[in-house]
Structure 1
């Protein structure tokens, strides 16, 4: 039997204008008349978003207003798992397509509202208020008779003028005219919750360096990095990567971090798939650098303040005990002795 030919496809190809390309994709664009969604090339050809995030953005954009787009709701509707959908939503939120805003409900409770914008870059443009539509010309009023010219009064402040009367038909059109929801140009510009992808990123911290490098530290650090692929096959490093990362591992060893602890920090909970092992190790060695161990004297308990206790003394007059820094008489005996001297 001969290979079946799709005559409809062949006919559509013959109707395309111009010569067809020798290689690559050939588009047969049939105009949609119902059930379609307009997607911009800034999303369909985004250089940073993953294919899963782009597909999820198209799916969300095609959903009707008010549809739940949480992780649980999307997992029940799509074949992808929760982790893949959550990662795609984080990508869309980082690039401004998805935003979460807190709003207060009429009953006083706070709710999180999910907003999807098909053009995040358009939100950064300043919005200009549209000019009001011109009013139809009012009917001319008959000229009023000119009053006799009065004497020139003293200059006073001009009273506020009353607005000119508006004809009934014009007033009716103004009452039913649609309200302009565009904010006036004097208001503050709209500030998005998520910075645009082109916003300048903060500089990355430098790779840690040991304060006192020694050949022994370099030897142990190089051996530890070379041995990582035995514990995690994904961490296969080149010699250049090992030479570049060895000073950071030496800084960890200089701060008395055990080699087993460093190995566990670098190999635990690796992302799947791991595309750039050297970049991941550089990030972990920089961000998770432990502080130096404190000096043993810093860990000693602080000395308690010395409390001076006034000793007990025996009164020379009544032989009662009382507190005083030096021997002598108690308060009562001193009072009686003073009264006796005064009477004498």
Structure 2
């Protein structure tokens, strides 16, 4: 019985295209020979170019409209003069695009009283740009009854023994600062908050006059 020689060279692969495919022929279908565009191009979504419900004319017309400059006329008469399909088929294609949200057409009156049709092309139906959302979003109203947030006051030193008489003397010192400088007019809340810091000075045998002098000296 013959045996296979393990040292025999492997059978060479065929160099003829398609011979090595299991079916013996090339795979059918499109092959893309693409070059990356760097200028004069438009980005079109596959949801449009492969839309399952739009006609080929509607898809092509939408691609054309998305590619033209802002302000270009895209009414039926202009499109019929540009393309060979004729006004009837073009009108039907525009209605398809409107039905699926790729076009919005409104009639508006100009400053001179003329009625014109405004066409808005949407490359993603159902999604509106940030600029349009910003113009349509109502401004937030601030209720006049809402008080402005109060600035948090800084922490102050505390006296070792906060006697009521000591704190009242500190409040009197702070309240009298406005007589030295009108800019040092303090509210009752501010004076009560700062009083413990002044009281900490007073309990160290610093006189009210010395405290007042320290707080008002060398102000800008």
- Give the TM-score band, short-chain normalised: 0.3 to 0.5
Using structure 1 for the length normalisation, give the TM-score. 0.31
Using structure 2 for the length normalisation, give the TM-score. 0.47
| Structure with greater contact order relative to length (CA < 8 Å, sep ≥ 6) | 2
